[in-house]
Every structure is written in C-alpha cells, then in structure tokens.
Structure 1
C-alpha cells in the first residue's frame, strides 16, 4: 500500500476563512506621532502587522493620547471610542469579497 494511504489525514483547512491580524491601540500610541495617518503600509513599515493576513482589526487594549487617523478593516467598540476621544478619526477599509459576492460576480459575467 502506498505511503500516502497509510498516513492519517487530520484537520480541515477552510479555504474561505478570513485571517484577521489584531493591533492594540497602545501599540499605535507608542509607534506613531501625533497627527499621523495609520495605514496598512505604515503598520507593515513599523513592524506592527507582520505575516500574511486578509484583514486588520484595531483592538481597544491600552490607552491612546495622540490624535491619529486610523485606516483598518475592523475596529472594536472600545477602540473606536478611545481613538475618537483622543481627537482622532477612524476610516473603515472595505473587506475582501465574501464567497456569495464572488459567485454573484461570476454569474453576472457569464450571463
């Protein structure tokens, strides 16, 4: 019997799952200056968002005292409150398309 049939197969990899990378507000406060714009590129440049991911979520752990403009896919409620209380603004980036949206686009293209 071949080796690949003898080795047990375990786990499940969902090809539709979304990988979310989380960044805390306190890390933004430490890494950026007052009045800066926080984008996905600047997060990667400052080594706050490492690896491969589909979306970035800003979490409200810690304190923020700087006025920042933060662009991310998702925000926790506490992070939104803390950023706006410090005088900053939030900008939500559009997320990747869902599987249903991809199927709908394919159906429209074929019709």
Structure 2
C-alpha cells in the first residue's frame, strides 16, 4: 500500500513522466541533476518510508544533493567541469549521512561510476 501511495505522487499535474524519472545512476554518469524532479522524488520517498514500504532513502538523498547542486550551478556561471564537481559534491554530501563514515559515500559513488561504463 505504501509503494502505491508513493507512486501516486508521480500522477500530480506537474510531476515528471514516470518513465523519465532519473535515478542515482543517471546523476553519477551524467554528472547532472534535475532540480524540477527533486520535490516529487523527496515526497515519494518520504511517503514510502513513512508507510513502511521497502524503499531506501538513497534515491531521496541523491536527488536532493544533485538537485540542489544543479540549482546552485544555475545561479553562478560555471563551466562543465565545475558543474560536475558540484553535482558530485552534492551527491557525496547527501549520501554521507547514511553511513557511519563519510568516506564510504565517496567509495559508493566511485563504484557506481564504474558499474555503468
């Protein structure tokens, strides 16, 4: 029931198309977040966690970190390399909250970047 309720968030009028929602693999490989999807992903993950659905907080934290980093990048003029550094910093910073040691978030993103290549 919780998974259905969290999926219903994508039926909101301005929500992204359910087939086009990016996951953490897209953010790591493209080094770009989508700030417009961030509120919907956060709400969906919050509903899932509150209702006991077996979904982890990784997607919400990844979307939050990469989305905020992309919004910050759009406020300042930055080249592609700086944008990539901001997105990776946002992802590592947000995922570091899950682990007892922040270095584990760096290792996780390193492994994720290797998997899809």
Common topology (TM > 0.5):
no
Rg larger in structure: 1
Q: Which has the higher helix share?
A: 2
Q: Which has the higher strand share?
A: 1
Normalised to the residue count of structure 2, the TM-score between the two structures is: 0.22
Which structure would you say has the larger RCO, counting Cα contacts within 8 Å and 6 or more residues apart?
2
